Structure 1
Amino acid sequence: MTRCVRRAAVLCLLLLLAPLVAAARIQVLHPREYAANPADRRPAIARYSVPRGDILVDGTPVTGSRDTGEPLRYERTYADGPLFAPVTGYSSQRYGTSLLEAAEDGVLSGTDPRLASFSFLDGLTRPRRPGADVHTTVRAAVQRAAYEGLEGKRGAVAAVEPATGRILAVASAPSYDPALLSGNGPATARTWDGLNADAARPMLNRALRQTYPPGSAFKVVTAAAALDSGLVRDIDAPTDSPLPYTLPGTAVRLGNAADGCEDASLRYAFAVSCNTVFARLGARTGVTGMAEAAERFGFNDAGLRIPAKVTRSNFDRRMEPSQVALSSIGQFDTSATPLQMAMVAAAVANGGEIQQPRLVDRVTTPGGRTVATTRGRSLHQAMSPSTALLLQRMMRDVVTVGSGRDAAIPGVEVGGKTGTAQHGVGNAAVPYAWFIGWAEPEGSFRPTVAVAVVVEDADAERADFTGGGLAAPIAREVMRAAVREADGVDGKTGDGKSGGRQRQSGR
């Protein structure tokens, strides 16, 4: 009898230990494999069991959460989705997140450790907290001016505050409504497939993720390199530039669309955009000097985040002299995002210093407690302050007497540079139209905004496709909106609002 009891006890012990061993094996040896198993819906159910935090522009939410009553309870909603899609990205129960929704996912989903009130207790109980709110640096009026300026076109706008790096607008056209991707049903899948099949690529953030040959807008960088190196000491002196200019080591002869470029001064060549002058200056500066100058502006930086990742802008470090000459006028393999070119304009406006561009101002809990604040910091000294002053003067000439007159704003000092970038096989494609510039109200001691606009409109007539004609008017309206906004919120920081707010659903 005792033997039977002993055997039964051993059997019971084995029956108890077997599931414990199996559970330990799963949790210790295969946790990631099981956690990633699509059959396990518990993580998704937990993720969508509470409202997601909101993204705010000017203190007003441009996102929300809708209670669906389904197992994946809360679904993302968007106010003015196409307008703010290049800022927010999408949050989809089926396809994940993108842009700011992805970069700040921990905060918005409530899983960021900084949101815990009692870290030790939270580590034991693991409560599901409502998401916190992300206050952006974007100004709604500036964003809308960029969006409306691009209406009916393909292109992008990036606008930043030169002294702080705060991003005031990120627009990309055509756009899309991220609300159509929020769910997980067949309609969401059809929308996703349609957007990805669209030749216009509406989900591509052209301001942050697409690079273009910058064309003559890059001549700001070339002029800075020539001035800082001492290659040019007087912007009004003749540059001894031939017409046409034969590219070094080749028989290719480079000409100009403008008149008066032979032996032109740097100041005149900049105003009317003489290719020959800048190609020769770039070749004389050399590949090392030009690459170092471009990198001081932010080119070749693969780690730029705002906090969403920004595609690397390129200036090659290994080129023949002829290729250096073409790269110095923004052609060959030189490419840049609109945000990068806005940083170029901002460097000039800010005395040669580039501030780290940033899209997030601060993070707050639903009750209004500030969890984190994003501080401005210097990113690069792109050029000397004296060179920046000379470039400011030359960029003002572009707007007052040169190719950028359509960017002028009464009562505001505006500096700019136009660009018409050739591309395609044999440069046969419709060029990209660029304008980069900055604006400073008269009597002010600080620039309000730096902007970059690129238009890639395949429907435009090639002969009418210029940076001054297509991109400059868009830039003018964006800068005008930024100046008005700065006047309206003078003395305020962030979104100009504070305090808590009630969490709402169904917006």
Structure 2
Amino acid sequence: MGGRPVTGSVPSGNAKVSFRRTYTDGELYAHITGYRSMAFGNNQLEAIWREDLDAGKDVVTTVDPVSQRAAFDALRGRTGAAIALDARTGEIAALVSAPTYDADAGEPLLNRALRDPHNPGAAAHIIVAAAALEKGLLASMDAPTRSPAVYSVPDSSVSFSGDPAHCTDANLREALRYACQNVFARLATDLGAETLAATADSFGFNTEQSNTPVQAFASKWPRQPGNAAQLALTANGLFDTTATPLQMAMVIGAIGHGGNWFPPHVVTDPKTPASSRRAVSQHTADELRLAVGNSVTAWVPSTSGTWALAYAQAPGGRPQAVAVFLSSATDTTSDASQIAARLVEAAKR
């Protein structure tokens, strides 16, 4: 990591297996390197690149030790995950799942950055806003949405509300800032399930095989909600809408990088360089990027956790897309924002 080896081998004293794998900063990189163990087998990069490692070859990762340490220290004592990637290339600069585990002990725990999807809640509003701009439903982020403070879903007893002072007839810029559920429920009705799902798909949702090269679980956006109420819930990041931190970093990265995203990866294969994929047009991405800005945005999607997303490009630094998820029954928006901000700062060094 960063030009420094973090794995090694020492004599085991076992006639059957001459050497034992060792790890430098095992807890720090555990959810990237994985482990190799007689008792527990192999996982993560230790399993995927076993032949190369057994042959004495180096496996070079994209991880930035400064960013990795910043995320690890910020998540210490918490349950959640943080991921940072370079929006120009998809290279993962930091990937931390907390609590971690000691790779030397071979005690696997869930990789929350790649394999623990949760409702994105209001973080999903970015995708709905992208769909509204992309399909011409709204001309710009400043166009009013004609949304009542309480929006009642047609043919349903379900309604969605927003802060009356900020969400009544809010434009997209205000609706994103104040997480106006009424606005995005209304937009979902106007756009329809097919348009919303197609936009989500363009950002990487519903992709069953996403490898970094460690396989990430698919993030889900329902293509055919059963009724109008479920469609409105979907647009508000609830119902069956789920996302991993990796997926949400891809979303914010695409918006920051002109509507394009690269498949995220922690090992670069020179034989098969990654090619970019377009999520939305340059115009849509620019509108959203200017609205989101370089600040950290955080939301509480439910009683189960908090999301924070950030995009920033420092002079001479990498354009950093950051996603943080904290699992908590209380409002942890301040904590999640601080963690995301620390990762952004790390990228500037």
TM-score, normalization by structure 2:
0.95
Alpha-carbon deviations, 1:61-83, whole Å to 9, x = none? 11111111212111111111111
Q: Determine if the alignment matches structure 1 residue 344 to structure 2 residue 251.
A: yes
Aligned partner of 1:457 in structure 2 is 328
Show structure 1 runs of 5+ residues with no match.
Answer: 1-56, 111-130, 182-191, 196-202, 363-371, 397-413, 423-429, 485-507
Q: Determine if the alignment matches structure 1 residue 448 to structure 2 residue 345.
A: no
Deviation at 1:377, TM superposition (A): 1.7
Deviation at 1:357, TM superposition (A): 0.9
Bigger shift: 163-172 or 247-256?
247-256
Counterpart-to-counterpart distance in 1, 2:50 and 2:318: 33
Q: Is the 8 A contact 1:102 1:308 kept in 2?
A: no
How many correspondences in the alignment?
A: 347
Aligned partner of 1:272 in structure 2 is 178
Q: Determine if the alignment matches structure 1 residue 376 to structure 2 residue 274.
A: yes
* Aligned ranges 1:486-501 → 2 under 5 Å: none
Question: Which one of the candidate residues 341, 344, 347 is aligned to 1:479?
Answer: 344
SS of 1:360 mapped into structure 2: coil
Aligned partner of 1:167 in structure 2 is 92
Counterpart-to-counterpart distance in 1, 2:192 and 2:295: 27
Q: Determine if the alignment matches structure 1 residue 314 to structure 2 residue 220.
A: yes
Question: Which one of the candidate residues 81, 91, 98 is aligned to 1:156?
Answer: 81
Question: Per the alignment, do residues 148 and 303 of structure 1 end up closer, same or farther by CA in structure 2, a change over 3 Å counting?
Answer: same
Larger radius of gyration: 1
* Aligned ranges 1:69-88 → 2 under 5 Å: 69-70=13-14, 71-88=16-33
Q: What code does the residue aligned with 2:57 have? A: A
Question: Per the alignment, do residues 474 and 436 of structure 1 end up closer, same or farther by CA in structure 2, a change over 3 Å counting?
Answer: same
Aligned partner of 1:133 in structure 2 is 58
Q: What code does the residue aligned with 2:212 have? A: I
Question: Per the alignment, do residues 387 and 77 of structure 1 end up closer, same or farther by CA in structure 2, a change over 3 Å counting?
Answer: same
Q: Is the 8 A contact 2:149 2:164 kept in 1?
A: no
Aligned partner of 2:122 in structure 1 is 216
Q: Determine if the alignment matches structure 1 residue 61 to structure 2 residue 5.
A: yes
Aligned partner of 1:332 in structure 2 is 239
Q: Is the 8 A contact 1:214 1:330 kept in 2?
A: yes
Aligned partner of 1:40 in structure 2 is none
SS of 2:311 mapped into structure 1: strand
Q: Is the 8 A contact 1:157 1:453 kept in 2?
A: yes
Counterpart-to-counterpart distance in 1, 2:149 and 2:310: 28
Question: Per the alignment, do residues 258 and 88 of structure 1 end up closer, same or farther by CA in structure 2, a change over 3 Å counting?
Answer: farther
* Aligned ranges 1:175-186 → 2 under 5 Å: 175-181=100-106
After superposition, the CA RMSD in angstroms is 1.6
SS of 1:449 mapped into structure 2: strand
Aligned partner of 1:386 in structure 2 is 283
Q: What code does the residue aligned with 1:375 have? A: P
Deviation at 1:269, TM superposition (A): 1.1
Question: Which one of the candidate residues 234, 240, 253 is aligned to 2:146?
Answer: 240
Deviation at 1:447, TM superposition (A): 5.4
Question: Which one of the candidate residues 312, 316, 321 is aligned to 1:439?
Answer: 312
Aligned partner of 1:295 in structure 2 is 201
Show structure 2 runs of 5+ residues with no match.
Answer: none
Alpha-carbon deviations, 1:323-375, whole Å to 9, x = none? 1111111111100110000000100111000111111136xxxxxxxxx5662
Alpha-carbon deviations, 1:435-461, whole Å to 9, x = none? 11111125x6x8521010000034xxx
Alpha-carbon deviations, 1:229-283, whole Å to 9, x = none? 0011132122110121112321122112574211111111112221111121122
SS of 1:279 mapped into structure 2: helix
Deviation at 1:106, TM superposition (A): 2.2
Aligned partner of 1:504 in structure 2 is none
Q: What code does the residue aligned with 1:359 have? A: V
Q: Is the 8 A contact 1:283 1:322 kept in 2?
A: no
Question: Which one of the candidate residues 148, 166, 170 is aligned to 1:260?
Answer: 166
Q: Is the 8 A contact 2:310 2:341 kept in 1?
A: no
Q: Is the 8 A contact 1:435 1:472 kept in 2?
A: yes
Q: What code does the residue aligned with 1:91 have? A: R
SS of 1:361 mapped into structure 2: coil
Question: Per the alignment, do residues 64 and 342 of structure 1 end up closer, same or farther by CA in structure 2, a change over 3 Å counting?
Answer: same
Higher share in helix: 1
TM-score, normalization by structure 1:
0.66
- The alignment-based identity, stated in percent, is 39
